[in-house]
């Protein structure tokens, strides 16, 4: 996601969307597993200081806080008040005192230069505008030798989103591409390298599965409720056009049915980069 049309409206939609999704960390194992694996790749040590961008319900922040201990600290930043309320509750239940949560816009919030040993952004990149510019800002927040740890989405991932992007073009609309900056391992490496990181590692993990044609209608409703689709697709079409678009969507899926069902790729990239010790 690079440049949404109306910046402020878009960010309000993002906040509203995640205010309604405060139980997403209980929707199966996907989010907890991805957060845990990203932490493992980042090699956190006791006493370190951590920044967790798009912290959500604290999946990364809480596990990181348990590793760094009381001699370390974690700062979690998120747009969504609802997400942070959920995170506060989980932090209290875990009796952690080394986490500070901030509600704010990661594009404008400021931290001292060379403040953090590790910076995380787990499953947040598709929702953050101007990722290359923001990565350079986050680079400044890291100590020399510090590590940034991000997740990205492959260009093959999410058959539903890719079909919707194709359908939108029939109406002269261009949907943001979730995987635009992270669609391949080469794109991931280039993204971090351009922002000034070195010793870059990109690791791939597949979370895909088959789904039935009968479940496609629910997936359609889910994707249309996403703010990226709302702003760039739903709001531009009347009810008849939306019904026609849904028919195209179902027809497209029918061509992909196999004996096992419809394969929905969900390839995640774990991206790790280090800030040079010597500029």
User: What pLDDT digit, counting tens, does each position of 178-196 carry?
Assistant: 778 999 999 999 999 999 9
pTM of the model as a whole: 0.90
Measured CA to CA, the distance from residue 76 to residue 70 in angstroms comes to 16
Measured CA to CA, the distance from residue 216 to residue 214 in angstroms comes to 5
Q: What is the pLDDT of residue 174?
A: 82
Measured CA to CA, the distance from residue 229 to residue 246 in angstroms comes to 13
Q: What is the pLDDT of residue 32?
A: 94
Q: What is the pLDDT of residue 6?
A: 52
**Cβ count within 10 A of residue 191:** 22
Tokens encoding 248:
């195209």
Q: Which residues of the chain have pLDDT under 70?
A: 1-7, 22, 26-27, 228, 279
Q: What is the pLDDT of residue 5?
A: 47
The three-class DSSP label of residue 163 is: helix
Q: What is the DSSP letter of 107?
A: T
Helix (H) / strand (E) element for 51: namely strand 49-53
**Cβ 18 vs Cβ 81: under 8 Å:** no
Helix (H) / strand (E) element for 8: namely helix 7-19
Measured CA to CA, the distance from residue 260 to residue 228 in angstroms comes to 30
Q: What is the pLDDT of residue 3?
A: 47
Measured CA to CA, the distance from residue 209 to residue 205 in angstroms comes to 13
**Cβ 42 vs Cβ 120: under 8 Å:** yes
- Domains of the chain are 4-154+177-210+265-275 (3.40.50.150)
**Cβ 79 vs Cβ 14: under 8 Å:** yes
Measured CA to CA, the distance from residue 121 to residue 215 in angstroms comes to 30
Sequence-ordered list of residues with C-beta below 8 angstroms from that of 235, at least 6 positions apart, any chain:
none
Q: What is the pLDDT of residue 2?
A: 46
**Cβ 245 vs Cβ 171: under 8 Å:** yes
Tokens encoding 109:
């919030």
């Amino acid at each position: 996601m690079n440049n949404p049309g109306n910046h402020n409206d878009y960010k309000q939609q993002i906040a509203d969307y995640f205010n309604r999704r405060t139980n997403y960390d209980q929707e199966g194992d996907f989010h907890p597993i991805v957060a845990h694996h990203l932490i493992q790749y980042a090699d956190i040590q006791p006493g370190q200081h951590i920044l967790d961008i798009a912290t959500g319900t604290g999946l990364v922040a809480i596990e990181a806080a348990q590793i760094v201990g009381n001699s370390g600290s974690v700062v979690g930043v998120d747009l969504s008040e609802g997400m942070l309320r959920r995170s506060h509750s989980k932090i209290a239940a875990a009796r952690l005192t080394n986490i500070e949560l901030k509600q704010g816009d990661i594009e404008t919030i400021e931290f001292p230069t060379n403040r953090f040993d590790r910076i995380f952004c787990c499953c947040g990149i598709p929702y953050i505008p101007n990722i290359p510019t923001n990565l350079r800002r986050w680079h400044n927040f890291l100590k020399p030798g510090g590590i940034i740890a991000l997740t990205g989405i492959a260009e093959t991932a999410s058959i539903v989103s890719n079909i919707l992007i194709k359908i939108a073009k029939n109406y002269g609309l261009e949907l943001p591409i979730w995987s635009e900056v992270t669609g391949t391992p080469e794109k991931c490496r280039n993204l971090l390298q351009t922002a000034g990181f070195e010793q870059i590692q990109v690791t791939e993990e597949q979370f895909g599965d088959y789904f039935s044609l009968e479940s496609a209608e629910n997936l359609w409703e889910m994707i249309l409720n996403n703010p990226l689709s709302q702003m760039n697709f739903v709001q531009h079409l009347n009810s008849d056009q939306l019904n026609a678009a849904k028919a195209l969507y179902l027809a497209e899926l029918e061509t992909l049915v196999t004996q096992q069902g419809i394969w929905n790729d969900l390839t995640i990239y774990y991206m790790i980069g280090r800030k040079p010790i010597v500029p």
